[in-house]
Every structure is written in C-alpha cells, then in structure tokens.
C-alpha cells in the first residue's frame, strides 16, 4: 500500500514538472513579467509569443500590395506562407528574390499589421527582434494611426500619424537602426521629427536578437535598444494631436525603395526578419 502511494506521488510530481516546462513560454501575464519586465510600474496588457503553429489571425492581417505601392519599393507584399510563417516559436518574415533580374516586381515579402484587430493609446511597446541585412533591404517595426484610409479609415497619411519604432537601411550601416515620427503640421503638410540613430558598438543587428522598446504617454515618446534610451520627442504641441489616438502595429521587410537604395548581386536572398515576441505594457 505504501509503495503504491509513493509511486503515485512520484508520478504526479513528474507530471507537474512536465506541465511547468511546457508552459515556459505560454504567454501568461505573470510569466512574461518575470521573464522580461521586472519594473513593477508596468502591467502587461497584450502579447504575442508566437507559440502557435501558424500566425494568429485574431491578431494579425497580411497586407497584400502590388510592387511600387509604397516608396517605389520593388517587392510585392503577399499573404503567402512562403513570406511569413511561425517557426521555433518565432515569427519569420522572409523576402524572396524570384528571378535573376533586379527591378520592380522581382521580389516578394510580407507586410503584417494589427489594424481593426489590436490597437493601443499610450504605454510601452516592446519586441525582441533579429533583423535582416543587405544592400537595398529595409526592415521596419512601426505604428500607424487607426484612422488611416488604407485600412478602412477616413484619414490619409500623414494626417493619421506614423511612429517608426525601428527602421534599418541595409544600404547604409547594418549596425544602425533609426527612430522617427511622421505627422501633419499646422499647414496640414508632412512633418517629421527627423531620424535619430542608434549604433551598436560591435557586430550588426543581423547577428543576434535585440530588444526594441518605445514608451508613449501624454507628453513624450522615448525609444530604447536593449534598455538604453537613445531618442525622445515631446508630443504636446497642437499639430501633434494625431499622437493622442489609438495606433496599430506593423512589421515588414521592404526591398529597394526611394529611401533604402536598391539590392544588387551582392545582396543575399532570402532575407529573414525574426520576431521572438511582442509585448504591450500599460502604466500601473
């Protein structure tokens, strides 16, 4: 009787430890705060840990666009699992070169967003990302105002507002990311903060994951990489009213474009952007 009892208890312990291990990256609030955010002034309100076998369509949309739709970029944005998928508990965005030619419509990639599904006003946006690198490659993690007309709203760009949490221009320096914002000034014309750069001391952003964070409240935006603040801007002026409304998230790899330069035979393909997790916090 005692021996049977001991065996039962041991089996139960093994089962419990097994369950704990399987839930290590389960996405619960308590676990995520313990793993990534020890600052108790922040409370996790949303995350995607990319634990499912496929991209969670309750959170994300594939934006399908023809080549040249934005910034004279060369890629098509597709809804193909060849261009965006989940693997090893990470979101993978993959840019492909489909021919031996360089030019418009010779490449495919993915542009994912949370429009009409998930949006936020104020808080901290945090993501652990490993970026692609190569001449003419332009990855970005960014935000647009919910009201933008390309997703069913009634407001054109830049009046809707845009926040670039990070952009990397492969034709510049692969160890540099940039922060920026775009909006409409008092004359209703395009205005921006102007890109502010953060440079790694060693290596480049394609060699490892880094944590990119963006803090947003009623008065200011602040950008950081791996816990180091490097850019900030006040948003209290009247012409920045768009930054006091809800915004949604976007992730993409652009190929070429009027700001990013053009790929050539030195640019390796496929190009990969890996996203380990994205987490949104609010002040407690």
From the list 64, 59, 67, 108, the residue with the least C-alpha distance to 86 is 59
Query: Who contacts 143 (Cβ-Cβ below 8 Å, separation ≥6)?
Result: 125, 162, 163, 165, 247, 248, 249, 250
Asked whether the beta carbons of 85 and 92 are under 8 A apart, the reply is yes
114-127 b/e with 16+ CB inside 10 Å = b?
bbeebbbeebbbbb
Structure tokens at 224: 């950081």
Measured at the CA of 116, the angle between CA 112 and CA 119, to 5 degrees, comes to 80
Query: Using CA of residue 217, residue 221, residue 227, residue 229, what is the dihedral sign?
Result: negative
167 tagged catalytic: yes
219 tagged catalytic: no
Give the active site residue among 162, 213, 215, 242. 162
Asked whether the beta carbons of 220 and 233 are under 8 A apart, the reply is yes
Give the active site residue among 53, 73, 150, 167. 167
d(CA 25, CA 28): 8
Helices (H), 91-150: none
d(CA 124, CA 147): 21
> Residue 142, SS3?
strand
d(CA 240, CA 237): 6
**Catalytic residue positions?**
162, 167
């Amino acid at each position: 009787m005692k021996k049977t009892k001991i065996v039962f208890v041991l089996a139960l312990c093994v089962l419990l430890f097994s369950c704990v291990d399987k839930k290590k990256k389960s996405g619960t609030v308590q676990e995520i705060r313990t793993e990534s955010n020890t600052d108790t002034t922040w409370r996790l309100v949303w995350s995607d840990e990319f634990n499912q076998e496929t991209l969670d369509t309750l959170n994300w949309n594939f934006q399908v666009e023809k080549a040249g739709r934005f910034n004279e970029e060369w890629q098509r944005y597709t809804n193909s699992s060849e261009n965006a998928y989940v693997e090893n508990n990470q979101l993978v965005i993959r840019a492909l070169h489909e021919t031996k030619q360089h030019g418009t419509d010779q490449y495919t990639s993915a542009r994912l967003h949370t429009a009409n599904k998930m949006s936020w006003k104020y808080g901290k946006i945090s993501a652990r990302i490993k970026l692609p690198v190569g001449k003419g490659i332009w990855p970005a993690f960014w935000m647009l105002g919910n009201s933008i007309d390309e997703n069913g709203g009634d407001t054109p760009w830049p009046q809707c507002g845009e926040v670039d949490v990070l952009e990397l221009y492969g034709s510049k320096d692969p160890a540099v990311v940039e922060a920026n914002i775009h909006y409409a000034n008092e004359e209703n014309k395009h205005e921006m903060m102007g890109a502010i750069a953060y440079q790694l001391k060693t290596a480049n952003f394609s060699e490892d994951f880094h944590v990119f964070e963006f803090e947003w409240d009623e008065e200011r935006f602040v950008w950081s990489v791996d816990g180091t603040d490097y850019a900030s801007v006040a948003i209290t002026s009247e012409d920045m009213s768009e930054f006091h409304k809800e915004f949604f998230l976007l992730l993409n790899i652009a190929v070429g474009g009027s700001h990013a330069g053009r790929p050539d035979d030195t640019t390796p393909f496929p190009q990969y952007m890996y996203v380990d997790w994205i987490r949104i916090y609010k002040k407690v």
